Amino acid sequence: MIDAITSRAHGRADEERRRLKKLEQDLAATDPDLNLELRSGRPRGVASRAV
């Protein structure tokens, strides 16, 4: 029983992750700044830290 509940929860989480990724891609396709931010992995305006 618990395995079935856990499996459904993971399935919903995966579905939500896919839905949000698709939304992110759709928005990035129309917003060059967002696209750059997503590709760089850093929020806009945040510089790389010196090590």
Encode pLDDT of 23-48 as tens digits: 999 999 999 988 988 888 877 666 65
Mean pLDDT along residues 1-18: 83
Strands (E), the chain: none
| Residue 7, pLDDT score | 78
Query: Interhelix angle for 2-30 vs 32-40, to 10°?
Result: 130
Residue 26 near residue 20, CB atoms below 8 Å: no
